[in-house]
Amino acid sequence: MMKFVTSGESHGKCLVTVLEGVPAGLVLSASDINNDLARRQQGYGRGGRMGIERDTAEIVSGVRNGRSTGAPVTLIINNKDWENWKDRTVPPITLPRPGHADLAGILKYGLTDIRDVLERASARETAARVGAGAVCRKLLKEFGIEIFGYVTELGGIKARPLKVNQRSALTASLLMTADKKAEKAMIKIIALAKKKGDSVGGVFEVKALGVPPGLGSYTAWANRLDARLAQGLMGLQAIKGVEIGLGFEAAGRPGSRVHDEIFYGKKGFFRKTNNCGGIEGGMSNGEDIVVRAAMKPIATLYSPLKSVDIKTKNTGRASVERSDICAVPAACVTGEAIMAFELADAFTDKFGSDCLADIKKSFKAYLKRIRPS
């Protein structure tokens, strides 16, 4: 089973990822990770920090001579902004931002400076998660599994659903959508929010193609693939909802318009619809995995909301930290990483986790068993 932990603060020296369970034999270098790190930094509406950082990963363990050894893989991403912070004396922050970890954080940990909370609660940490996800993505690629994400809604503007063959258009998009008209309207909303000192949220969808049936399990609740994906995505900063396939819409439809009928052809079992988002009974069913996550608007508002000083208990306005106006595309890239990790975890659970060559043999034998000969 795969596991990973991240550590590091937003303005600390670096972010660290320790990823356990990477099988031996995977060709791996920093360049496999850096593209996703750069993608996470993109998006219209990002704050000043993204102008400072050029996120790149250094692999410091688990890889020798360009191949994974089976030992934990450790990645380090340096914070360039550390140079600007290390000698700085900053006054304590005492006015918590509504919607952020600030208030509950200081109460829980008995702290008196909100900075002690926000430094770790910050979405800067997602860079470390994207690092773990990029390693998992490389592993899944060995088995023909591909993951991509796109923004489906931003600031209340809905984009047309993305067709699989429109994926290449996402690279050129400022907001990870192929719908140019919607993108224009979204940009306007972000620009307006910036002017007003406000922030903008949205919804993104992540898809996995080429996933074999049988990842995850119905035998125990915690092993269900949908449960694992939902936990992973809800663990991402600012996510308030997760849907799989039709999601909440399924609740209002009759069963005959929800369940995906089963057919059999040259490649084996298949469906003509995918309302279940590729997951039935907590397991992948061989169709594309489709998940959506709703991101609330970022909690730092340049026109701050009312708050109460934690020391004096006087009413005031929430503190203002440099932040993004909108980070939905960045969250989408992190969502891809989360999907990659959860699928790699479920994949190695099913097919083995020590040695890439053995996993390939086991995967091949499985496909032979489930597909027509």
Distance, CA of 129 to CA of 236 (rounded, Å) = 9
| Sequence-distant (≥ 6) Cβ neighbours of residue 255 within 8 angstroms | none
Give the residue with the Cβ less far from ligand EPS, 117 or 246. 117
Neighbouring CB atoms inside 10 A of 138's CB total 19
DSSP single-letter state for residue 161: P
Phi, psi angle pair for 236, to nearest 5°: -85, 135
Does 298 engage in binding with ligand EPS (CB under 6 A)?
yes
For residues 1 to 30, the per-residue mask of contacts with ligand EPS, x marking binding by CB under 6 A and - elsewhere, is ---------x--------------------
**Among residues 117, 127, 340, 359, the one that binds ligand EPS under rule CB under 6 A:** 127
Q: Which is nearer to ligand EPS, 32 or 53 (CB)?
A: 53
Q: Is 124 in the site for ligand EPS (CB under 6 A)?
A: yes
Among 48, 334, 56, residue whose Cα is nearest residue 176: 334
Q: How far is the CB of 42 from ligand EPS (least distance, A)?
A: 11
In one letter, which amino acid is 330?
A
**Using CB under 6 A as the criterion, what x/- string covers residues 80-119 for binding ligand EPS?**
-x--------------------------------------
Of 109 and 248, the one with the shorter C-beta distance to ligand EPS is 109
Identified binder of ligand EPS from the candidate list 108, 322, 361, 364, rule CB under 6 A? 322
Residue 251 backbone phi and psi in degrees, to 5: -65, -30
* Residue 181 found at the interface with ligand EPS (CB under 6 A): no
d(CA 78, CA 57): 8
Smallest gap from residue 119 Cβ to ligand EPS (A): 9
Q: Does 350 bind ligand EPS (CB under 6 A)?
A: no
Per the CB < 8 A criterion, the answer to whether 310 and 96 are in contact is: yes
The answer to whether residues 41 and 49 touch, using CB atoms and an 8 Å cutoff, is: no
Compare residues 8 and 278 and give the one whose CB is closer to ligand EPS. 8
The only residue of 132, 190, 330, 332 in contact with ligand EPS, by rule CB under 6 A: 330
Distance, CA of 303 to CA of 317 (rounded, Å): 9
Q: Rounded to whole angstroms, how far apart are CA atoms 35 and 41? A: 10
Contact with ligand EPS (CB under 6 A) among 68, 323, 348, 353: 323
C-alpha Rg value of the chain to the nearest Å: 22
**Dihedral over alpha carbons 84, 90, 92, 97 (to 10 degrees):** -40
- Between CA 66 and CA 46 the distance in angstroms is 34
Using CB under 6 A, which of 122, 173, 177, 353 touches ligand EPS? Answer: 122
CB closest to ligand EPS, residue no = 122
Q: Which stretch binds ligand EPS (CB under 6 A): 178-186, 226-234, 322-330, 343-351?
A: 322-330
- Write out the residues near ligand EPS by the rule CB under 6 A: 10, 47, 49, 81, 122-124, 126-127, 298, 300, 321-324, 327, 330
